[in-house]
Amino acid sequence: MKWKVIQDYILILIGTLITAVGLDMFLIPNKIAAGGVSGIATIVYYVVNFPVGITMLAINIPLFLMGIKQLGVGFGLRSLMGTVALSAVVDAMATMNLPVLTKDPLLASIYGGIVVGIGIGIVFRAKGTTGGTDLAAAIVNNYLKLSVGMILFFIDAAVIVAAGIAFNSAELALYALITVFITARVIDVVQEGFGYAKAALIISQKPEKVTETILYRLNRGATAIRGRGLYTGTDKDVILAVVTRAEITRLKELVHEIDPTAFVILTDVHEVLGEGFKRRF
């Protein structure tokens, strides 16, 4: 258990490092204030020339203290570590004169969003946060009957609009919106994984044969879920099976071979934990 905790803290540091790279090498140099505390800090940096990392920390510290008061100490040391580490690394990298990889704002918004999304996603997987607006949203949620997602949307929208006004550029605000979308999507991919597997729900007149085929010809597990057809009123088994993308064509062929009238529903599965797939929970 101690080693797992150490691994989480290492991952938080790696995640904050990657996030800082995305900010310092893509977003900040191109004036892309993609919402959140980093977006506010980017605006402050260009308006009054104050370091981004210090601004982020100055905003996050009162949020963190309010979080302790409102949410309890339970939201934890991981959040404090991620918050402080990101602020420190962003300013440290700024003094290293790292190369700006592109001056094209569209490329910067896309690749900055990807890199920042990877970094924050890693921090989230390690059960940490980088502070910021997600913490602010959790605090506001204690007072207002709004979802955290809705609060985050309003905060990010306000920051992006403020950036457009501060930089006198509607285009930069639009680029920032692209970054927000990409970052959110990449965070989801890092947390959930790519859609590398498929879940199949199979309704067949020959459920025993279909199950036997999945078990012994595909060498995959299957689960029977008791269901009832609402039109016919008859009870029947719905077979649930999870297979890799490479196996999906074979599964469809085998089911069709056994029962051409079978009803098959296929859906993407982003992460599968257990026998035959990932073993780490």
Output the pLDDT for position 227: 87
Higher model confidence: residue 247 or residue 135?
247
| Spatial distance between the Cα atoms of 42 and 28, rounded to a whole number of angstroms | 6
The whole-number pLDDT of residue 280 equals 57
Average pLDDT score over residue span 94-104: 90
Q: Is 111's pLDDT higher than 50?
A: yes
Q: Quickly state the pLDDT bin for 35 (edges 50, 70, 90).
A: confident
For residue 279, is pLDDT > 80?
Answer: no
Confidence of residue 2 (pLDDT cuts 50, 70, 90): confident
Can you give the three-state secondary structure of the chain, one letter per residue? CHHHHHHHHHHHHHHHHHHHHHHHHHHHHHCCCCCHHHHHHHHHHHHHCCCHHHHHHHHHHHHHHHHHHHHCHHHHHHHHHHHHHHHHHHHHHHCCCCCCCCCCHHHHHHHHHHHHHHHHHHHHHCCCCCCCHHHHHHHHHCCCCCCHHHHHHHHHHHHHHHHHHHCCCHHHHHHHHHHHHHHHHHHHHHHHCCCCEEEEEEECCCHHHHHHHHHHCCCCCCEEEEEECCCCCCEEEEEEEEEEHHHHHHHHHHHHHHCCCCEEEEEEECCCECCCCECCC
Average pLDDT over residues 33-45: 92
Q: How many Cβ atoms from other residues are within 10 Å of residue 279's Cβ?
A: 8
Distances (CA, A) of 252 to 199, 267, 279: 12, 13, 27
Instruction: Return the percentage of the chain with pLDDT > 70, whole number.
Output: 88
- Whole-structure pTM over 0.85, yes or no? no
Q: Which residue shows structure tokens 């599964």?
A: 251
- Overall average pLDDT of the 211-240 stretch: 88
pLDDT band at residue 281 using 50, 70 and 90 as cut-offs: very low
pLDDT band at residue 188 using 50, 70 and 90 as cut-offs: confident
CA distance 270 to 277: 12
Query: Torsions phi, psi of 272, nearest 5?
Result: -125, 125
For residues 258-269, average pLDDT: 90
pLDDT at 104: 95
Q: Is the pLDDT of residue 66 over 80?
A: no
Structural domains of the chain, with CATH: 2-192 (no CATH), 197-269 (3.30.70.120)
Rounded to an integer, what distance in angstroms lies between the CA atom of residue 78 and that of residue 250?
A: 45
d(CA 55, CA 42): 9
pLDDT in tens, 145-176: 666 557 777 888 899 999 999 999 999 999 99
